[in-house]
Amino acid sequence: MNLTAIIVDDEVNSRVILRNYLGKYCTTVTILGEAASVQETLELLKTNTPDMLFLDVEMPYGNAFDLLEQVPDRTFEIVFVTAYDHYAVDALNAQATYYLLKPIAIDNLIKAVDHVTHIKKKEQKLLDAVLVPKITTVEGKITIPQQDGFEVLEISDILYCEADDNYTKIYLNKGQKLVSKTLKYFEDSLSPQGFVRTHKSYLVNVSKIVRYRKGKGGSIVLSSGKELAVSSSKKGVLLDYFK
């Protein structure tokens, strides 16, 4: 599993050593950036979402704990890298994942990365189970993956879904969502809930159909007024709902 990291240390030499060690002994780690102070770190975190932070304790104009107080909803793991062992209890209270003492022992660095990898794999396994668009155990709802978690939608609020390459546009009674999953994902989840594939590009909530217009395939009009084409190969499946 690949990981991303930010190195935070006010000493240039310390950052160089850690960067080189990671590049040589922990090749699954990609460095997103480096910072020398609390403020620089906060700026990096505005545009980056690392899996882990290699964090020195003592820095100018604030220390590591000052930084962590300003990121209460962090999703990254913390690996302290410091020359002082008396911060260990504070690090534990700050929910640090690992505590490395300078000079860094390569074996310990590898163990720290392995430990973070293990944690992230467990998190990903859980997220994979939850974030796949699917019917939840809560009746009438479906989970939609988001970059920072997932959103829960009322199935009855969905008008139709439209394929957009490897994405799907979900049209709601009010607004729409773009989800990085194929239309097939939603077809598998929503077909038992009264949704029908009327076209290679459309998956429609049958309860939202208010009119059918004849033709080779024909077309349907939804409660929102939107008209969608029906392919000839899907026409029979659609009309079966209205027998």
| 8 Å CB contact between 49 and 75 | yes
| 8 Å CB contact between 197 and 185 | no
Q: Cα–Cα distances in Å, from 113 out to 101, 171, 228, 243?
A: 15, 42, 52, 61
For residue 50, is the peptide bond before it cis, meaning its omega torsion is within 30 degrees of 0? no
Residue 156: both structure tokens together: 């009855």
**What does the DSSP 8-state code read for residue 201?**
T
Residue 137: per-residue pLDDT: 44
pLDDT, one tens digit for every residue, the chain (243 residues) = 899 999 999 999 999 999 999 999 999 999 999 999 999 999 999 999 999 999 998 888 888 888 888 887 788 999 999 888 887 777 777 778 899 999 999 999 999 999 999 998 888 776 555 545 444 445 788 888 776 678 889 999 999 999 998 899 999 999 999 988 889 888 988 888 899 999 999 999 999 999 999 888 899 999 999 999 999 888 888 988 887
- Residue 194 CA to its chain's centroid (Å): 28
Q: CA torsion angle for 77, 28, 4, 113 (degrees, to 10)?
A: 20
Entry field: residues in the chain: 243
Residue 131: per-residue pLDDT: 47
Residue 129: per-residue pLDDT: 55
Rounded CA gap, 185 and 187, in Å?
6
